[in-house]
Amino acid sequence: MSGKPAGHQIVCPWWLCFTFDNPLRRIFHHPEKILSPYLRPGDQAVDIGSGMGYFTIPMARLVGPLGRVTAVDLQEKMLSVVASRAMQKGVGDRVQTHRAASDSLGAHDQADFILAFWMVHEVPDQRRLLTEIRNLLKPKGRFLLVEPKLHVRREHFENTLRIAGELDFVVRGNPAIRLSRSAVLGLRS
């Protein structure tokens, strides 16, 4: 929904992710502050579009030794970096990686929490992605959708929320995340 032609897929190259995954980013996007309201020890979580694990590793810390985090990305290079970083940070046993297909997240266990940070606008078929997320989310689960203000205009973000609403999602909150448009979604009960 970034204004690109329909069907046009944008995939961030792995080498560019070093610009997003650096210590200075914590000034704007402190992972633990953003994620801690939504994750509990023992949770099953999914990081869609995980990149090199900027959020995956903190998610693994927050879910604790009994929880699990699945890092999902299109690029094998990203996932190998996530796996390596998880091992280095002592949470390798909590993190599994999964390479998504260009048109599907693939099969996963249901999740208590799903994160899609600055990536939904890259997906040409948002309805399909949101349907997969709906099917992946546990009935009381939470889905944090975050999009960059620079690439995603308000009306495009609202259109994504409209599609989500048609798929039985309801907005449960709009956390303030710098440089971003965001919503916490849950399933209509």
Model pLDDT for residues 167-176, shown as the tens digit of each residue: 999 999 999 9
Percentage, residues of the chain above pLDDT 90: 80
The domain limits of the chain are: 30-187
pLDDT tens for residues 88-121?
999 999 999 999 998 999 988 999 999 999 999 9
Tens-digit pLDDT profile for residues 48-79: 999 999 999 999 999 999 999 999 999 999 99
Q: Where are the beta strands (DSSP E) in 32-189?
A: 44-48, 68-73, 95-99, 111-117, 137-148, 169-173, 180-187
- Burial classification of residue 95, based on how many CB atoms lie within 10 Å of its CB (0-12 exposed, 13-18 middle, 19 or more buried): buried
What is the strand order of the sheet 95-99 is part of? 95-99, 68-73, 44-48, 111-117, 137-148, 180-187, 169-173
What confidence score (pLDDT) does residue 12 get? 53
Q: Which CATH topology does 30-187 take?
A: Rossmann fold (3.40.50)
Strand partners, 180: 148
Q: For position 95, what pLDDT does the model report?
A: 98
Give the CA distances from residue 9 to residues 31, 123, 150, 160, in Å, rounded to whole numbers and listed in that order: 27, 6, 18, 16
